Amino acid sequence: MFERLFTHPLWAYRTGTFAFASAWPIGLLITLILAAAAVVAFSLWRRRALGWRMLAPVGVLQTLLLALILCLLWRPVLNVERVRDRENELAVAVDASASMAYGDAGQSRLQEVAAALQNGTLQRLEKTFAVRLFGFAQTTTPLNTLDAMPPPGRQTRIGDALHQVLQSAGSAPLAGVILFSDGAENGDTLSEERLAEIASYGVPVHTVGLGPERVSDDLELERVEVAGSAPAGSTIDAQIGIRHNGASQARLRVYDRDNLVAARDIKLRPDAATTQLALDLPAGQAGTHELRFVLDPLDGERNVINNSRTRVVNVPAARRGILYVEGEPRWEYKFLRRAVDRDRALRVASIVRTTPNKHYRQGVNTPDELVDGFPSDPAELFGYDAVIIGSYEAAGLRAEQHRLLKEFVDKRGGAVLMLAGRYGLSAGGWQNAALAQTLPVQLTGRQPTQFVQRPGQALLTMYGAESPIPRLDVDPRKNLDRWKSLPPLADYQSLGRLKPGAIVLLEANGEQGRAPLLVWQHYGRGATYVLATASTLRWQMRMPSDDQSHEMFWRQLLHAISSTAPARVIVNGERTVYEDERTVRLEAEVRDERFEPISDATVELQVAPERDAPFKQTMQPSGQSDGRYTATLDAASAGLYRIEMTARSGDKEVGSAVTHVLRNDGVAEHFATYQHRDLLERIANVTGGRYWPLRELDTMVGAIPYSKAGIVERQTLDLWNLPIVFIVLLALKLGEWLLRLRWGRL
């Protein structure tokens, strides 16, 4: 209908430029239109007795008629650029991944594409272009016909597909690419760099979206984040995201292989597409744990594969070592040790100064450990994962020991926890020590009122509510209530100004207002913590005997400060679970006893797949003399892979490390099966194309010939002879005649 009235396609008007082909000046046209308007006004003014209510409409119609006739004399045209027929190629790339097998009304998305193309769309495109067909999933395949479409693939790699299609054109003029897909990219091939590279070809990519933007009556475990390793007997913090549509509640179960370890009923948010929650899980005994998170399916739910995700958690058998230094026997020390004595994943070796020249040791492994007090040798100090300094003045350590303590945080990657006390923090002169640079607070000078007896209630901050350290209950509201119900502290110490990177987890609320109580920050490879009280023992003494708040807090705090310290020899994969991807990238780090990088080591991997024969592979140095080594494994079969890394320097073995990764097949394409319209629109916008719904294919076919890519020609389209022009002329004159007829003034 549009072309019958306007002769030319709609997209010629959208992309073209209006102009007058006549050589006559535009100023003359404007002058003549104004003169015609003046003549009309003068003629009507002579008949002003009829009244302006009748004369004004007639004057407007007569002026418009004369103006249109004058414009036609100047020969209006439309200048457009259009591809030359049959001299350009057009690539059609069809997503053939497994997610395209989903659909409604008994027809898959891939079948919808085939039906739409074969229903005249392909034939119309072939009148203008030499059409080249491609099917893609994890690889891209040229097709002779749509019937040759490959079977559903296990991965969607849109970036690789577009790159290959653009490269395959070679020197042939390519006017554009039509991409049919649901946009469920899961191959990590659309980074910013790859998108910029695709856009640099100057070829517009027109994207056609398939599938609904929200899948009804479906539950999906969109996100499950857990740490790759955890100490034995500790608690694992799992961050979970559930995508839902048409459900108000769900039940989540967590299995360690076949053993149920947790179950929780979840109320889903009606005002959002996803619900986020945190779940505390027991790490269990030392070993490798395959944690399987499963949502109970809805009634009639068609896709239940996306209700389950598996994560691998390595629980090492080695205990984390913590050095605790106290300057005086005190109750806080006693209750701290008692809280963690039964924790099999922690070993607290402590030295308590009982007299100026005598120390009392506890928790040591050998008679020689800490026999001379605080370590002076880097290898001995760096053998611990964390250091706690209680009521101990800075003058009790030598300058070399202060330097080692700072390097323990910065270079070794350990954590230091400073406790309040009569000789702790500023009261002990630590503001002048090298370690002060790493602390999250700017310690002030010594003052007699810094550490005093003053009551204060410990309160959670916004960051504390999200941290696993002060989590006494998995329910955020119950956790907040438990902190409010704890007995008040008997003392707390003034800390001074917070540094920019400081994070406050707890505050003390007393007579003088709120003050930071538990603060931490990253520094170098490690972290430092400050706890500005020496009376947490009240949480034990003034609560019922079966209350575990004090023990839970200290266990979680000590696990937090010790679990992040890296070992001398470590090996890790990019992630612990690889879904429908057989390339496993590993990175190792090798350091000596002083945690100096070893860049000339021989690093070998012993890989034991669950289903295939074991094999060996050598890791290669990073080339940056930083003690890092890399390797890429071909994990051909699904299952659990045990990877043991051994590092040798010359004839001496530096150390070994073990990690595990899990390979799954037939999983990735069943997650996020909705249409990712934002991604498809972004691809089109970056490349100069346009996003189209499948129902608008006919409009797209008319728009693509007006592409700026390929071999184009400039066309000048006349507008004076359009049917709509003559209809408008007739309508203007007919309108004037009808008005005169109505008023009886012909």
Instruction: Clarify whether residues 598 and 488 are in a common domain.
Output: no
- How does residue 527 score in pLDDT terms, banded at 50, 70 and 90? very high
How many independent structural domains does the chain possess? Answer: 5
For residues 227 and 278, give the distance between their C-alpha atoms in angstroms, rounded to a whole number.
13
pLDDT attached to residue 70 = 87
Is pLDDT at 709 greater than 90 in this prediction?
no
- How does residue 293 score in pLDDT terms, banded at 50, 70 and 90? very high
pLDDT attached to residue 447 = 64
Q: List, in sequence order, every beta strand (DSSP E) within 173-297.
A: 174-181, 205-209, 218-225, 235-245, 249-256, 259-267, 274-282, 287-295
**Residue 598 maps to which CATH number?**
2.60.40.1930
Instruction: Clarify whether residues 279 and 350 are in a common domain.
Output: no
For residues 295 and 54, give the distance between their C-alpha atoms in angstroms, rounded to a whole number.
75
Instruction: Clarify whether residues 547 and 685 are in a common domain.
Output: no
The average pLDDT across 464-481 equals: 89
- How does residue 283 score in pLDDT terms, banded at 50, 70 and 90? confident
For residues 246 and 218, give the distance between their C-alpha atoms in angstroms, rounded to a whole number.
7
Instruction: Clarify whether residues 521 and 653 are in a common domain.
Output: no
pLDDT attached to residue 746 = 47
| Interval 83-137: pLDDT, tens | 888 888 999 999 999 999 998 777 899 999 999 999 888 998 988 888 999 999 9
Q: What angle do CA 469, 471, 477 make, to 5 degrees?
A: 150
Question: What is the domain range of residue 306?
Answer: 218-315
The DSSP code sequence of 151-167 is PPBS---HHHHHHHHHH
The average pLDDT across 4-32 equals: 83
- How does residue 496 score in pLDDT terms, banded at 50, 70 and 90? confident
Instruction: Clarify whether residues 430 and 456 are in a common domain.
Output: yes
Is pLDDT at 185 greater than 70 in this prediction?
yes
Helices (H), 157-207: 158-168, 192-199
Higher pLDDT, 53 or 720: 720
Instruction: Clarify whether residues 578 and 663 are in a common domain.
Output: yes
Last residue of a domain, one of 280, 315, 350: 315
Instruction: Clarify whether residues 689 and 602 are in a common domain.
Output: no
pLDDT attached to residue 57 = 82
Least confident of 64-68, 89-93, 323-327: 64-68
Instruction: Clarify whether residues 64 and 18 are in a common domain.
Output: yes
For residues 316 and 564, give the distance between their C-alpha atoms in angstroms, rounded to a whole number.
13
Higher pLDDT, 236 or 713: 236
Instruction: Clarify whether residues 366 and 285 are in a common domain.
Output: no
Instruction: Clarify whether residues 152 and 98 are in a common domain.
Output: yes
Instruction: Clarify whether residues 8 and 72 are in a common domain.
Output: yes
Instruction: Specify which residues 74 forms β-bridges with.
Output: none
The average pLDDT across 685-700 equals: 91
The average pLDDT across 707-725 equals: 82
Please indicate, yes or no, whether the overall pTM of this predicted structure exceeds 0.75: yes
Instruction: Clarify whether residues 448 and 356 are in a common domain.
Output: yes
Decide if 708 is inside a domain: no
Higher pLDDT, 44 or 667: 667
Answer for the pair 62, 78: CB distance below 8 angstroms, yes or no.
no
The average pLDDT across 50-58 equals: 74
**Residue 679 maps to which CATH number?**
3.40.50.410
Decide if 137 is inside a domain: yes
